[in-house]
Structures are given as C-alpha cells and as structure tokens.
Structure 1
C-alpha cells in the first residue's frame, strides 16, 4: 500500500507541478527558438474568420463589430458567420444589418458545431482560416498576431489564448476558472517553446486551410482533435498569447459543472480516437507532451486522487494513529483540503464567496467532473451537439 500510495502521489505531483518543471528545464537546455517577427506588408495572406453562432443573437452585435474592427487589411480578411439551425432570428438580423460586409451560412437544421465547421470549410478559399466563438471578444491585433506564425512552413496551426474576465466579487467557479487558465497559458507557452502545444482552445485558433481534416460530427472537442491531427502529421501548433479571446465565467456552479463534465467526456473520446499519438517511437516529443499535459490530467490524476485518500486511510487504520507517522499527517492534510473544497462548494451554491477556499474547491471540482465525464463517455450518451451554457453578465472588454 505504501508503494502504491507514493506512486499515486508522484503521478499527481508530476501532472500539476513536475511536468511544468521538466519542460522549463528542457527549454533551458536547448537552443532558444527564434522569435516570431511582426507582420509586415510582404506577408499579409488572406484569411477567413469563421464564427459558429447557434442562437447567439444577444452576442452578435458586439461580435460582428469586434470582428470588423480587427487591425488587418480589410481587403484581405473575410468573415463567415455560421448560423445553421438558429431559431432566434440570427440569420435575418445578420443579413439585414451586415449582409454586405460578411458572408452568412444559414440553414434550418441544427447538425451541431462540428458539422457547421465542416460545411463552412467547403466555402473557404483563403490559405488560412481562423475559428472563434460568438460569445468571445478578441483583442484587435488578434488576427495580425496569429497570422505572423504562418511564415514558418512547419507551423500548421496557431492557438490563441483564452482569458477569463473576472471581478473581485466573482464566484469561486469563476475565480478558479481564471486561475486555471492562467496556469494553462503558461504551460502552453512552454509546450510551444519546446515543440508544439497539445490542443487549441476553440475560442480562438487558426489552421492552414489545406491541412484541415473534417472530423466526425460526433466529436466533442473539435478544436482539440483538429489541432492534434495537424500535430500528428508533423507540423507544429504554435501559441500566440498576444492573440486572445475574452470570455466571462460560467453563470453558476451548475453551468460550470455541465461544461466541465462535457469537456472531460470529450477528453476520453479524444484519447481513444488519438491512441496512435501514444506511440513515443513514432511521435517522440509530441507523445511526451500529449501524455504529460493531457492524458494524465484527464485519465490518470482523477483516478489517483480517490486512491490516495483510500490508501492513506488504510495505512492509518492498519498502523493506528501515530503522531510521528507521515501517513497520519497526510490524512489530516487531505481531510482539511477536501473539507475546504466541500465548504467552497456549499458556499458557492448559496451564492456566498470566500476566495480562501476556491483553489481547493476548483481543483477538486475539476477532478470530480473528470470522473463524471468518464462515466458519461462509457455510457455513450454524449453527442457532438453542445448544450449552451449560461455565462456571467458582461463586463467591459479589453481591446
């Protein structure tokens, strides 16, 4: 039990801390990657900005203006809004107000975001395509900053940064989500510096049009699958933190829970569908990054955490409580940690906020949702059609 307990603890520590340290050290030991040059007049390829927008009429006015306001030559950027299946009048509103400035792909049948993206790609004639969600706001240099990476022929895709807008009075879910994405962003910087990032965020990412592979309409994490398929073909997926999408946190802990469980189910689906990437003899550094950053976080750590608690409890019951035993104090620490997590959950459900408990709360919350996502995936009752999650009310966006 002691060996198994130490092994589980080591896996958890490696997943959340050790991997970052290892990647940072490897970066320091290798030659620094050349800096990406700014976009210049001799490299401004045509791009298409695709915005899937199912029943997003409340977001569309701000999204269209934000898209049209991008600092990129107007004659070289095309806009395609995909409203297929919308029932809130999005299609009519776009045509009436912006029909001359943007292209609109409508339709009466809702087939899901992935099917909409696959259809939209059939209309793209530019060498680069950028995907962004309707409920996000991009900084106005986002397109310029993403495009410059494609000077390198080895770059097949570029991921922007997702930023969560929170206020001092946000819920624990929102604050935890923001902290999590700051940590994720740093890991992505290091991944990109070492070799390639492993999975783009759907809020903002770009691909070379000729490298886009249509994925199954049942795909849950389309952004992750599309970018990893490109990486699996030997191309790098670059990361551009100065191209970012601003998004509000989930409206409530229930909304955030739905979103996290769905993402976790998509993670397990992706692991199965991308099992070829688990071969280090073929994919080398990509496999190292993929397993360490994604597979362990989705499929290993969530299973290790309950094992750590149970094994620790078993050792204390076997040996009895001993003041000088590290197992006794480890159990005390776990009880306090999960107690703080439970307190954070109870407070959040009552709309009471205490930042002192949101880190243990959000960490536990993510891993519990991962286990629930595993159950959902195994049951096979998850489709590729997203259930729209409510977001907190808007705050002033950065541009």
Structure 2
C-alpha cells in the first residue's frame, strides 16, 4: 500500500465535523452569555457622571433629536402623558401591564432590551398589535457612556434585528440605559446620545423618573408619576428587572386617578406629534432577525442542557470515585483471606506452562522479554514460543539466536496475519494446558509466572489478568500513563473482579486455561482489541476471570503524543467493536447475562458516554468561569481533582508505588484527559461512519536491553 493510499484510508472528515461542532458549541455559549448580559457586560461606572450635556439639551425637553447640527428637543403637551417602560419584555410583568393598559384604553412606549425581545418575541408582537410603541434600550442593557462607538452601533443593530425577527419592524426611538432626566445627562452620556443620533435615532429621556425599580410602595410610585398642575410629562417606569407587582398596581391607580382629571395616556411619538417610531423592516432583516432569535433560543436551551449534563457528569464521576476504593478494599480483604486459607492447605504441584510471545518487528525489546521469561523461579516446566508474524526487521534473527541459546525457547515463523492470528498459531504449537500470553515489549519479574497462574488452581477460573506497570515513566507522558495504569489496574480491575465482570485481560500479561480458549474458538480477528474481545467471550462462556495484583509485568508505554494517540485510538476503537459484538450479553441469562448487565453499561457510561460529553462539559466549565459564579466552578474543579488524587493515592499505596508522581495529576486533568477524550470521540465517529482502521504499530525505543537486570517491585 502506498503512502497516498494509506492517507486516503485514514478517516479525516470527522475532524471537520468535530471542529464545526466545537465552533457551534462555543458560538452558542458566547451568544447566550452575551445576550443575557454576562459576556462583555459593562455596568454603570462612576466616571460617567463627570461633566454635563450642553444647556440646549439639559434645559430642554425629554425627547431629543441629535441627527442634525444642533440638538432639538420637544415636550409633551398639557394633560398628555407618555407612559414609557424600560428593560422588558418580561414574561410575567409585561403581559400584566399590557392588560392594565388595554383595560383603560391607554397606550405606552416600551423601551425593550434586544436580548429579551429574542427570548419573548410574542410579547413584543402583542404590544404592537394593541397599539403600543417599541423603542430600543440596547441589546444587553449596556452602559453606552462607557462603551466604544462600535459597541454602541453593535448593540443597537442587534436590537433592530431582534425586533425585525419578532414583529417585522424597526424603531426610530432609543433610550440609553442608566439615563433619566435631561439635566442629569453627563458629558459621556451626551456623547453616546450623539452617536445614537448619528445612527438616526431620536433619544428619549424622561420628565419624571418614578424609580419604581426601588419598590418604594404603590403610593410613592403614583406620587412620583403624577404631573404638577396639569402639565404633560414623559413618565419612566419599568416592566422587567425584578418584582414589578408595585408597578402594575401603581399603573392601575395612576390611570384611574388621572383619567378622571382629563389626562390622556399615549405613546411617546403620538404625545410629541412625531412620525411613528415603528417602521417596517426589510425581508432580509426579518430573516436575519429570525435567525438571531432562533440562535439565542437554541443557546439558552444549550446552556440549560449543559448545566444538566454538568450535574449528571459530576454525580456519576463522584459515585465512581467513591465506589472504586470501596470495591478495591473489598478485593484486598478477600485476597488476604484467600492467602491465609491457602497457607494452611497443602497445594497441588504447579502445572507446566507455555508462554506465547507474538512478535512483529520487536527487535528492540524481544531478547529482554524472552530472557526475563526464562529467568523465572517457577518450579514447573515452562516453554517459551516466539511467534514471528512476518517481521521485516531482525526479529526472526533474534528469535533464532534465542532458540539456539536457550533450551526451552522455540521460534515459530508465519506470514504476517496480525496479532490474533499469531497468538492462535502459538496456542496450536503450545505443549501445555496453561498458557501465558505476553507482548513482545514486556518484561516479567522472577515470580510473575508463578503468581499469575496460581488462581487457575480454581477450576472455575478460565483466565487471569496480571498487573501491568509502565517502565519508561521518566517523562511527563510516561508519568501520566503510569498514574493511569496504576489506577486502572488497582481500582478498576479490582472492582471488575469483585463484580465478576472483567472486560479485559491485557495483552501484556495474561494466563489462560486452554479449555477456556477452546470454548470460545481462540482469538478472533473481528476486532482490533483482541484481548478485550477474548476476555468478554470467556466471561460469556461462563468462566471466571480474575485479577492477580502480584503478577507484575513491565511494559514500554508510548513515549510521544503521536504514538500514544495511535495506540489509544486502536484500543478504544477495538473496545467499541468488542462491546458491540458482545451486546447480546445484556439479555442473556446466567454468568453471561451477569457479565453483560454489569460490565457493558459501565463501559458505555464511563468509557464512551462521559468521555464524549466531557469536552463539552469542560468547555461549559470554562464558560462558567467567565459568565457564572467563578468560585463555584473553581471549587468544583478543585474538589474533583482532589477526589481523583485521593483515589490515585490509594491505588499507589495498594501497588507499593511512591506518591511523588501525584504532582503531575493537575496537569493530567487539563492536558492528558482531554487527549483521551478526543481519542474516544474520534473512535466513536470512525465506528459510526464505518471507516476502516489500520493496525497502528507503536515504535519501540528499547526501554529494556538484553543484559539489563530484571526490574524491582517499586519501579525502574
């Protein structure tokens, strides 16, 4: 196969989908955050009160036209009241205010926040149908005096688009947030008003600010809203931003009382004899406005869903972190009890063992692997079969040399067919009933084989998982994998042993009863995770698969991110294949059903679903640092990391490892964990798309040399 053909076979399209999905997610979160005033929100600053507006504005009326050279302002005629409401629409209070207005035959102008319009477009549409008027109050209630001109234009433009999508209109009216009466206008606020004037808006202030947002009581609101001596006025009230029950009651009282005195209540434009503020929007603006509304609604739902996912992921992860040490403790007590029982019982002679080493281009570490197997203190006969799977390097040469030098070593050569085929060949050539399967880059300790095959004395046990240790743990990547291996073998596998649902006997170290292998037809070539596929098949066949913590094997882990990615990609993809292949175990009876209903849901939740959702949850957590309570998010992350560290500490102690490696855990949560999540996502998308995945060969660096001493219990 040429390099070009290989590149064609590698699935690349899902990276585009993943990028687009991430872009959509981030865009949705940012839109939701911006729309609800949490991304880029500016509050009113004290410096905005410095200076004042020109006398022509400060001493003029509450409605100002700044589009020309000189400001022009107007006032309401006598006994004419322009009711204005800010900060809406609100799904609770605005409809109540509209009901009061309709009951009294009055009309008002609503200065709406664009983000609220997008959330509740039906309320805006109702207000317009009932003869009320709409003005702009910016999109996020931004302090225009402290905003740049582009931000002001952006806020006003977004509000216009929201109005176009909600009711098919634009508006000529605008009221600046935090503004009030003309003589209270500061110099920076006046400059912001000028910018709005240049955009074609008429700026509305007020004659009488009721300050109803303070909730001073119905009587105080009515008193603040009542004009003196029959004067006309622009009244400022609020229909959103908190409990507006006093405003609703005060409005009813005000309309009843002043209508009896001959006051007329109308919109701002009608009161000032101005052209209607509401003008039809273009078709294009209606389309873009509808898209904006739909996008904001989707982002709101997305934020809600992510909040739920964040909570679910947190609960499940917490339960797992609590359960794993408990199961590990149960396993430790059971193992110790079993050892005490064996100590007082005469043991049967250990059986002879055949060790099978599949080797494809393993010239770097094969000799060290084989010599560690031969140097065992196992008292019964052993044979070591090297199965060369069509290697293109010096693997067969090294195998032939070892066969000549060591009496119990045999070399079997075959055309390249993959690891499962190589193992099946070795099993067929093996002389004994107990088989140990070992990777060609793995080194055993002297007591490993004896410890590994000991559980097979129980006739119910068909396979035994050993304890794999990372040998090359000097660098950061090595330390991350070391922690992962220690936690996986000393917590997860102990739990699987207790629950009798072991999913994987690792290819690096596993012991099998020939009868158990024969019962499932040997190793299958249908998946890329032949060890997981085999273990699941053995469990479904009714055999027990157990974990032996004292059977140690030292393996060379990938030393680069690229190699690590390729290895885990194959593992994860193969595990998905195996889970799908053995899905019927969920509905089967007996041991098979027990395995399926315990193991497969656990793998689905914690090795597929949560890793797929984890990047989304992490993005939401980062989003929460900026738009929510950052202390809550930070405390959650620290608590999660501390819980992970506590579980890792227990696992390291169980395995007799030093605790100093824990310093890499916080960085592991940020970098390594994300890498593993992306591996799961890539594997899942590849499986869904049905894209073929080639066998990825991991390049060995030669952690073990032929003359090196065997590793000790606590590391290399």
Q: In the alignment, what sits opposite 1:342? A: none
With the length of structure 1 as denominator, give the TM-score of the two structures. 0.81
Partners of 1:9 and 1:304 within 8 A in 2: no
Partners of 2:439 and 2:508 within 8 A in 1: yes
Cα gap change, 1:321 to 1:97, in 2 (>3 Å): closer
Cα gap change, 1:144 to 1:26, in 2 (>3 Å): closer
Q: In the alignment, what sits opposite 2:711? A: 398
Q: In the alignment, what sits opposite 2:256? A: none
Cα gap change, 1:250 to 1:54, in 2 (>3 Å): same
Q: In the alignment, what sits opposite 2:410? A: 103
Work out the CA distance in 1 between the residues paired with 2:709 and 2:401. Answer: 27
Cα gap change, 1:291 to 1:77, in 2 (>3 Å): same
Give the CA deviation at 1:296. 2.3
- State the number of aligned residues: 372
Q: In the alignment, what sits opposite 2:551? A: 243
Give the CA deviation at 1:275. 0.6
Work out the CA distance in 1 between the residues paired with 2:628 and 2:367. Answer: 64
Give the CA deviation at 1:254. 1.3
Q: In the alignment, what sits opposite 1:330? A: 633
Matched, 1:9 2:314: yes
Matched, 1:61 2:370: no
Give the CA deviation at 1:391. 4.4
Cα gap change, 1:11 to 1:226, in 2 (>3 Å): same
Cα gap change, 1:248 to 1:388, in 2 (>3 Å): closer
Any residues of structure 2 matched to 1:189-200 within 5 Å, and which? Answer: 189-200=494-505
Q: In the alignment, what sits opposite 1:349? A: none
Q: In the alignment, what sits opposite 2:46? A: none
Partners of 2:499 and 2:598 within 8 A in 1: no
Cα gap change, 1:331 to 1:392, in 2 (>3 Å): farther
SS across alignment from 2:468: strand
Q: In the alignment, what sits opposite 2:429? A: 123
Work out the CA distance in 2 between the residues paired with 1:251 and 1:149. Answer: 33
Q: In the alignment, what sits opposite 1:72? A: 378
Question: Deviations 1:63-122 (Å, cap 9, x if unpaired)?
Answer: 221111111236x21111100201223223322442443221102x21100111122222
| 1:298 aligned to which of 589, 594, 607 | 607
SS across alignment from 1:106: strand
Work out the CA distance in 2 between the residues paired with 1:77 and 1:14. Answer: 44
Work out the CA distance in 1 between the residues paired with 2:710 and 2:691. Answer: 37
Q: Which has the larger displacement, 298-307 or 253-262?
A: 298-307
Q: In the alignment, what sits opposite 2:391? A: 86
Work out the CA distance in 1 between the residues paired with 2:603 and 2:364. Answer: 34
Cα gap change, 1:332 to 1:132, in 2 (>3 Å): same
Cα gap change, 1:294 to 1:391, in 2 (>3 Å): farther
**Structure 1 stretches of 5 or more lacking a match?**
339-353
Q: In the alignment, what sits opposite 2:71? A: none
Q: In the alignment, what sits opposite 1:373? A: 683
Matched, 1:171 2:466: no
With the length of structure 2 as denominator, give the TM-score of the two structures. 0.47
Give the CA deviation at 1:189. 2.5
Cα gap change, 1:80 to 1:27, in 2 (>3 Å): closer
Give the CA deviation at 1:182. 0.8
Matched, 1:258 2:566: yes
Cα gap change, 1:397 to 1:368, in 2 (>3 Å): farther
Work out the CA distance in 2 between the residues paired with 1:30 and 1:65. Answer: 34
Quick check: which has more Rg, 1 or 2? 2
Give the CA deviation at 1:388. 2.6
Work out the CA distance in 2 between the residues paired with 1:312 and 1:10. Answer: 15
Partners of 2:490 and 2:549 within 8 A in 1: no
Give the CA deviation at 1:255. 1.0
Give the CA deviation at 1:202. 0.8
Give the CA deviation at 1:274. 1.3
Give the CA deviation at 1:20. 1.0
